[in-house]
Amino acid sequence: MSDNAHLAEQLDLISKLLELNGADSFRASANARAARAIEAWPADICAVARDRGKPALMEIEGIGPKLADKIIEYSRDGRIKELDELRAATPAGLLDIMQVPGLGPKTVRMLWQEGKVVDRASLQRIIDDGTILTLPRMGAKAVEKIKASLALHVEAAQRLRLGPAAAVADRVLAALRPIVGDSPMAFAGSLRRGKDTVGDIDVLLATDNATISRAAHEAFITMKGVTGVVAGGSAETRTSVQMLVGFSSRWDESDDSPPAGEQAGPRVQVDLRIMPKASFGAAIMYFTGSKEHNVAMRLRALDRGLTLNEYGLFPEDNSTTEAPHKRGIAPIASDTEEAIYNALGLRFIPPELRENAGELSAFALDTPPASAPAALVSLSDIRADLHAHTTASDGVLSIVALATEAKRRGFHTIAVTDHSKSSVIAGGLSPERLRAHIGAIHAARGEIDGITILAGSEVDILSDGSLDYDDDLLAALDVVVASPHAALTQDSATATKRLLRAIEHPLVHILGHPTGRLVLRRPGLSPDMATLVAAAKQHAVALEINAHWMRLDLRDTHIRQSVDAGCVLAINCDVHHPEDFDNLKFGVQTARRGWLPRERCINTWDAPKLHTWLKAKR
DNA sequence: GCCGTTTTCGGCCCGACTGTTTTCAGTCG
C-alpha cells in the first residue's frame, strides 16, 4: 500500500472514531475529506511534507494547519498520536458494527453508552434478551431491521471488481431494453466513473409512461440471477435486488466462481431507479457522483445563486421550506448533463474525471484554451496492442490467430510478447525457443496482411532489476516489455531500485504492469513513483496501463502522476484469450481517470510514428 | 477542522425515507 493510501486510511479512521466519541461532526468530516484528498493526490504526500513543509500541504484543498501537522507527524513518525488516543478510548468492535447498514455513528454511540454494546456479540446479546427495546429510539421495527442487517451483512460487504460489475450491468440493460424501447437508460455510480472496484450497481431509466415503468419494475425483480428483492422502496421508482455475479474467469477460480448449487456464489446489489424524462440529466449526474464532485457542483451552483439537486438546476428563491421542484419551479437545466454543466459555466466533464480533483477549474468555460486539458484518450483512438501472448507460452491463440483477431478489431499493429524463461509456470521461453519463436513470427507476417506483427517478449524483471535475457537477444526483438512477476513483496526502496534499473536499460520500451498488484487480491510493489516517472520520462520508456480488470496497473493516481511528469503511456490488454481484447475499455477508463491525453498514449499513434518510436531503441 | 469579493466567526450540500415521535433525529445515497 502506498503511503498516501495508508495515511488516508488513518485519517478516515480518526474521522470515524471522532463520530463515535460524539465529537463535532464537522470536525469528523474535515478529517474524512482530507483523507479523500490525500488518497487522490497524485504525488507522494509524505515527500511533499518532507521537502516543502507545512505551507505546501496547506495549499491542498481541505488541508488546514491542524491536518498539515498530522501529515507531518505521520511522515516523520509513521503514526498519529491522536489516532492512538482515540483507539485507546474506543472499543474496536464498534467500528465493525458501524459497517452494518442502518447503524450510523449516532446509533452505535448510543448503543455503546446506554446499552454497553462493544462489539457484534454484545449487540446480539441485548437483541436476544430484549433489553435493546428499553433504549431510546429502539422500537420493535428498528430492532427487526438491525437483526436483518446483521444477518445479511455477513455475506455482503465485499466490493466487486470493475470487469464483473460491468458484465452484470450489461446483462441488466440487455434484459430491460426490449421492454423499455427507446427510453433513456444507463448505469451510473462508480461503475460509470470506471473505478477499479464498485460497491453496487445503479441503473437509471427515464420514462413518463406508467405502463413501461411497471413492466420494467416487474421484469427487473424477476430477472435471471436475482436471488432476492431488498426490503424498502415502497414505490416503483426505486427497486433493489440482490443478483448473482455469476462471472468466472481464469483469475477467479478460487474466490469468485460459484460453488455447487444454483443460488450460491457472490452477489451484488443492483438498484433500478425510474424517473421522469425531464430529470434524466440531473438524475444521472447525481447518481454518477462522486459525492465530492456533487458537493463541489452544488457549491458552484450556490455561488451563482442557484440550487442543484437530482431533479435539476433551479433558481434560488430563498424559500427554505420545501424543495424547489415540489413548488413547481421550472428548472434552468435538467434533461441533459451537458445542459447543467453549461449552465454552471463548465464544459461537459467526462464521468471518469468526476472526483473533485481539479476538474471543475480545468473544465471552466472561462479557462483559456491554452491551459484547458487536451482531449482524453478514448476507446476508438486505440490502434495497436503491444502486449500479447500466444500458445508459445500461456496464451490460447496461435500467432496468426492473434494477429487475425487484432486486425478484426481495427488495429494496425500487434506485438507478440510471450513470457521469458523465469516465468516457468507460464511456459516462459528459453533463449533457444525465443530465437525459434522470432523466426515463426517473421514467417507469420507472410500469412496475413493489413497488420504489422512485431516480435517481442514480456521479459521478467528479476528481483535485482536485471532482465531475464542477454542484451544480444533483446536487441533482436522489435519490442521489449519488461515486467515484474515475482518478489512482489519487496520493500519500497528495493522495488524502486529494481524498477529503475529496468527503466534505465537501453533496450526496454515498456514497463509492464509496474506494481504487479491484483485488485482486491494482492497489493503489489509500492515503489517511489516520483522517481520512476522522472526516469521513464528521461529514458523514453512507456509505462503500461494493463487493461485487465484484475490488474488495472498502473492505477489511476499513478497515471495522473505520470501524465503530470510528461511521460508517455501504453494501454495494453495482456492478451491470453481472444476475449481479453474486450478489457481494453477498462484500461481506457482507467487512463481517463488519470487524465491521459490521446497523444500521450502510444497505442493511439499511427503505424509510422509508433514504429519509428520503437526503432529509436534499436 | 476548514474556509472566506457579502463573514477571521459562524457557517458548512440536498432530498427521501423510516421509525419514533406529536415536530424530528438518524441514515443513506
- For residues A67 and A7, the answer to whether their CB atoms sit within 8 Å is no
For A363-391, what is each residue's pLDDT tens digit? 998 877 777 788 999 999 999 999 999 99
What's the whole-number mean pLDDT along residues A88-108? 88
CATH class of A3-158: mainly alpha
- Decide: CB of A304 under 7 A of nucleic strand B: no
pLDDT, position A227:
81
Q: List chain B nucleotides near protein: any atom < 7 Å from a Cβ.
A: 1-3, 11-21, 25-29
Asked if the domains A293-371 and A379-615 are classified in one and the same CATH topology, the answer is no
What's the whole-number mean pLDDT along residues A208-233? 83
- Decide: CB of A139 under 7 A of nucleic strand B: yes
A270 burial (CB, 10 Å; 0-12 / 13-18 / 19+) is buried
Residue type, A379: L
pLDDT at A197 over 50: yes
**Cα–Cα distance, A332 to A347 (Å, whole number):** 16
CATH class of A160-251+262-275: alpha beta
Identify the weakest region by mean pLDDT among A94-108, A150-164, A476-490: A150-164
SS3 A242: strand
For the beta carbon of residue A299, count every other beta carbon within 10 angstroms: 11
pLDDT, position A260:
40
pLDDT, position A239:
85
Query: Residue A284 CA to chain centroid, in angstroms?
Result: 19
Please give the full DSSP string across A468-513, using - where no structure is assigned. Answer: SS-HHHHHTSSEEEEE--S-TT--HHHHHHHHHHHHH-TT--EE-S
CA A462 – C1' B9 distance (Å)?
Answer: 59
- What pTM value is reported for the model? 0.83
Return the closest nucleotide (C1') to the Cα of A136. Answer: B20
- Decide: CB of A230 under 7 A of nucleic strand B: no
Residue A537 or A102, more confident: A537
- Decide: CB of A107 under 7 A of nucleic strand B: yes
Flag residues 313-342 of A with CB < 7 Å from strand B: 323-326
Q: Which of A518, A517, A525 is nearest to A494 (CA)?
A: A525
Q: Which residues contact A578 (CB under 8 A, 6 or more apart)?
A: A396, A397, A401, A405
For A441-460, what is each residue's pLDDT tens digit? 999 999 999 999 999 999 99
Cell of A182: 427507446
What's the whole-number mean pLDDT along residues A349-354? 96
Residue A228 or A430, more confident: A430
- Look at the block and give the residue holding cell 493489413: A450
Please give the full DSSP string across A256-294, using - where no structure is assigned. Answer: TS--SSTT-S-EEEEEEEEE-GGGHHHHHHHHH--HHHH
Return the closest nucleotide (C1') to the Cα of A64. Answer: B2
Return the closest nucleotide (C1') to the Cα of A289. Answer: B29
- Look at the block and give the residue holding cell 519490442: A479
Flag residues 180-219 of A with CB < 7 Å from strand B: 200, 202
- Decide: CB of A31 under 7 A of nucleic strand B: yes
**CATH 3.20.20.140 correct for A379-615:** yes
- Decide: CB of A270 under 7 A of nucleic strand B: no
- For residues A546 and A574, the answer to whether their CB atoms sit within 8 Å is yes
pLDDT, position A425:
79
Mean predicted lDDT score pLDDT of chain A = 90
CA A287 – C1' B29 distance (Å)?
Answer: 8
SS3 A216: helix
Identify the weakest region by mean pLDDT among A58-62, A158-162, A431-435, A596-600: A158-162
Distance linking the first and last C-alpha atoms of chain A: 36
pLDDT, position A321:
65
pLDDT, position A608:
98
**Cα–Cα distance, A618 to A615 (Å, whole number):** 5
- Main-chain dihedrals φ then ψ at residue A206, nearest 5 degrees: -110, 120
CA A446 – C1' B23 distance (Å)?
Answer: 82
**What percentage of residues in chain A have a pLDDT greater than 90?**
68
For A266-298, what is each residue's pLDDT tens digit? 788 899 999 899 999 999 999 999 988 999 999
- Look at the block and give the residue holding cell 488495429: A411
Domain ranges of chain A: 3-158, 160-251+262-275, 293-371, 379-615
pLDDT at A132 over 50: yes
pLDDT, position A391:
95
CA A531 – C1' B20 distance (Å)?
Answer: 58
Assign domain A293-371 one CATH number from 3.30.210.10, 2.30.30.100, 3.90.1640.10, 3.30.9.10. 3.30.210.10
CA A31 – C1' B1 distance (Å)?
Answer: 7
Peptide bond into A290 cis (omega under 30): yes
pLDDT at A496 over 60: yes
Please give the full DSSP string across A178-205, using - where no structure is assigned. Answer: HHHTTS-EEE-HHHHHT-SEES-EEEEE
